[in-house]
Amino acid sequence: MRHAKKINHLGRTDAHRKAMLSNMAISLIMHKRISTTLAKAKALRTYVEPIVTRSKNDTTHSRRVVFSQLHNKYAVTELFREISPKIADRPGGYTRILKTGFRKGDNAEMCIIEFVDYNETYTVEKTKKKSTRTRRSAKKAAPVENVAPETEAPVAETETPAAE
């Protein structure tokens, strides 16, 4: 019976599957987006999400644990320096799978798996728009008139004549 055996074997042996997922995780970390089949992307998501969660805590132990799964020091450095600060406040769900259609040769369902915070199309930048509702520009502004507090009437600024 197959009770509680939910892993997708992807038609590979255990060693081949682990090596493939490790290589795909390295590619995802280095390029932030990769194109693959839907079954591989779903398997990769379950493989890479705990690694990214581990990278939030930048300690020697967590770096060694991540390196034992990835076996690539450049990917580990990229993960801890670039990716983990961007996802520090996110409680999970670091990857997104976007279906792209079917492959021409074998009709396999293809998709793009990417990190959520690295796609500019879906991330909303909160930029403050500069107000452009001025009546005159600062360069063409007329001399400023001071208002006397007692009379409430505008008083023009006068310059004192230069003593010669």
Taking 90 as the threshold, does the pLDDT of residue 33 lie above it? yes
pLDDT of residue 119: 80
Q: Is the pLDDT of residue 37 over 90?
A: yes
Among residues 87, 98, 155, 47, the alpha carbon closest in space to that of 79 is found at 87
**CATH code of the region 14-118:** 3.90.1030.10
Q: Which residue has the higher pLDDT, 18 or 129?
A: 18
Tell me, letter by letter, the H, E, C secondary structure of 3-58.
Answer: CCCCCCCCCCCHHHHHHHHHHHHHHHHHHCEEEEEHHHHHHHHHHHHHHHHHHCCC
Indicate whether 120 pLDDT > 60: yes
In order, the DSSP letters of 97-133 are EEEEEE-TTT-PEEEEEEEGGG-TTTSPP-PPPPP--
Identify the pLDDT of residue 121: 77
Residue range 136-155, pLDDT digits in tens = 666 665 566 665 556 555 55
pTM: 0.72
Mean model confidence pLDDT for the chain: 86
> For residue 133, which phi and psi values (nearest 5 degrees)?
-100, 40
